[in-house]
Amino acid sequence: MIDIDILYKDETYAIIGAAIEVHSVLGNGFLEGVYDEALRIELKSRGIPFKSQVPLPIYYKNQLIQKCFVADMICYEKIIIELKAISKLSNIESAQIINYLKATNIKLGLLINFGSSIKMEWKRFIYTDRN
C-alpha cells in the first residue's frame, strides 16, 4: 500500500469530521448562517482554531483594491473554509474558493455544502500557482 502525503491531512480530517457532525445533527434545509454558527460551535468544542468572516485583501499590480473577499472561516491559520447550503455544488462555488486561494498565500481550501438532500458534500482545493 502506498502512503501519499496529503497537504494538511489531519487538519482536514478534523474539520470535515466537525462538519459531518453538524450535518448529522441538523440535516439539510437550514440557511447557510445556521450551519455557519453550528460549525463554529462544533469547531470550538473540538479545539480546532478558527476565525470567522475573515477579510481577504485583493491586490492588483501590488496595489490594494478597495473590494475584498470575505472567507467564511480560516482554520488553523492555513485552511480556507467556504460554506454553502445549496442543492448541489457547481463550478461557480469552486471558482469562488479558487479565487480566495489566489488572493492569499493560503494553499488549501475546503468547500462544504450542507444543502444536499443526499449527504453533506465537500471538495478540497489546492492552489500552488503563484505567478
Question: What's this model's pTM, rounded to 2 decimal places?
Answer: 0.91
Residue 70 has what pLDDT?
95
- Dig out the grid coordinates for 82 from the structure: 467556504
Q: Where are the alpha helices (DSSP H) in the chain?
A: 9-26, 32-45, 91-103
Which of the following CATH numbers is that of domain 9-126: 3.20.20.140, 3.90.320.10, 3.40.50.450, 2.30.29.30? Answer: 3.90.320.10
First CA to last CA distance, the chain: 36
At 64, list the grid cell.
Answer: 490594494
Which residues, in sequence order, are CB contacts of 9 under 8 Å at separation 6+? none
Residue-range domain boundaries for the chain:
9-126
Work out the percent of the chain whose per-residue pLDDT is above 70. 95
Phi, psi of 65 (to 5 degrees): -90, 145
- Chain segment 29-87, per-residue pLDDT in tens: 999 999 999 999 999 999 999 999 999 999 889 899 999 999 999 999 999 999 999 99
Specify the pLDDT at position 2.
46
Distance (Å, rounded) from C-alpha 100 to C-alpha 93? Answer: 11
